[in-house]
Structure 1
């Protein structure tokens, strides 16, 4: 999230009026992230209470692609998964236009990020991720993961001129490995459905609970990388962020074990999923290494934008190759 397109109070108020959401009291750009323009929107309604929303203007996604993301959020929210629900107008429309860009307004989740999670936080995220996967099984729309293998192959040649010899070798060899995996029968058998695909620590909210470090998860947000892919890839993305040492990319096995066990308390992994988890951990690391390289070397302008360091996910990828991790217990992969 960032501010690529400036929105005036009058433009925000026009959308609030259309949705009958009240009188604007505050409009503030959100500087985190790199894909869309986002604003915190506060307003008052007839009940006199403050109501808080997030206004998103979509900078890359098209009006044809956006219904998948917004309807998925609506679908999950209506099935009890804690995600921001898009607001609809009287005709049921949830996609609008603000400052010439496709736009939507969604509920703002309570709480804040937990950027130093422990096993307690991982347990909640793991179980809720599995609930989300199951709740999305009957979602009727389809869109592939737009940052999957096809995108990796497309952008890699654009990135290679910026890499040194060691980085080039790593990227080319891992792309070949992942392409071979994706073409295999064992990969084709993995369970699939809508996934978040970007569920990092800063895309989950917690609110204070009973005692320090006992925060309660209030929701997942920022679904604008979502697509249909293997559920295992979604799990791998989470493990590579929630369960690692940020200084060296090392997987913290105790925390990862808790995460997977919580996930399996809702949706047990198949034997094939257990066997392919090390490979999908590599795939998830490659995906974010590539996207960070792309954003660093081929950036777009924005009034609030800071590219993430791609070396972090290069370290993660090298760690996953050197030290494959298996979440085996009770003979699950036998």
Structure 2
């Protein structure tokens, strides 16, 4: 999350009061981190009570693409999956226009991100990810993951001129390998459905029951669904494992964390034989996807307030590690 389109409290106060039933806007703060949309914490006061929301202005996604993400969040929330619930305006709409760009308001989840996860944190994430995949089984809309193979093939030629010879060879050869994998009969057999596709540590929150910090943390929820799409569940799991289960060297997989994640996931949704056979290649696909996107953001950046591009070498190293498995 970042701020590409600045907004002040005074600019939206009348809009909030006029168009919504969430009270009076009392504070608006830009959110630091991420690279896609303009995000703000929005506080309101209704009937003497403070309420917290997240306002997002979409910078790349179109108004035609956005209903998939917002309706998916509403669908999952209705299935008791802890995700942000889109807020309707007085006309029942959940997608709006602000500063001539698409915008949405969603509920703010409780808790904070856990950037140094224990195996128990990984287990909680694995269990809820499997539940989310099952809960989305009857979600009626479909929209392809917009950052999958076609986007990789379109983006890599723009990136290659910025890389050294060794990086060019690695990127081109892995893209060719994944293109073959995606076109294979085994890939076609992998179960698919609504997937988060970006379930990094900073997109999950944990909190303590009733604010009791002496108790064990529980999972507060998953958020930032704006890379979601209809994709292979195994890809979603591989993206998650590549971030949550990193060893201390930040490139290899930590066996204890990975075992906790995988066992908890499979206790809810066991992997098929085809999924188990495709696991190593899918870990590489997940690493490639984020290496490409981070190279793109690093070498072809957009201006933004509070934006710090991620280091692309992180996922280059992860890809090299997964190729060695």
- Paired residues in the alignment total 322
Q: 1:269 aligns with which of 271, 291, 299?
A: 271
How far residue 211 of structure 1 moved from its aligned partner, in angstroms, is 6.3
Equivalent residues of 1:5, 1:37 under 8 A apart: yes
- Segments of 5+ residues of structure 2 without an aligned counterpart are none
How far residue 168 of structure 1 moved from its aligned partner, in angstroms, is 0.6
Q: Which residue of 1 aligns with 2:104?
A: 104
TM-score, structure 2 normalization: 0.97
How far residue 163 of structure 1 moved from its aligned partner, in angstroms, is 0.6
Q: 2:261 aligns with which of 252, 259, 274?
A: 259
Distance change in 2, residues 1:222/1:92 (3 Å): same
Where does 1:76-95 land on structure 2 (aligned, <5 Å)? 76-95=76-95
Equivalent residues of 1:11, 1:98 under 8 A apart: no
How far residue 52 of structure 1 moved from its aligned partner, in angstroms, is 0.2
Equivalent residues of 1:159, 1:293 under 8 A apart: yes
CA distance in 2, matches of 1:308, 1:102: 25
CA distance in 1, matches of 2:114, 2:103: 28
How far residue 8 of structure 1 moved from its aligned partner, in angstroms, is 2.1
CA distance in 2, matches of 1:255, 1:58: 34
Q: Which residue of 2 aligns with 1:155?
A: 155
Equivalent residues of 2:21, 2:90 under 8 A apart: no
Q: Which residue of 2 aligns with 1:38?
A: 39
Equivalent residues of 1:79, 1:135 under 8 A apart: yes
Q: Which residue of 1 aligns with 2:25?
A: 24
Deviations 1:175-196 (A, max 9, x none): 0110000111110000000100
Where does 1:43-192 land on structure 2 (aligned, <5 Å)? 43-46=44-47, 48-192=48-192
Equivalent residues of 1:29, 1:38 under 8 A apart: yes
Deviations 1:183-227 (A, max 9, x none): 111100000001000000000000135766931101000000001
Secondary structure in 2 matching 1:257: helix
CA distance in 2, matches of 1:32, 1:107: 19
Secondary structure in 2 matching 1:137: helix
- Segments of 5+ residues of structure 1 without an aligned counterpart are 324-334
Equivalent residues of 1:11, 1:99 under 8 A apart: no
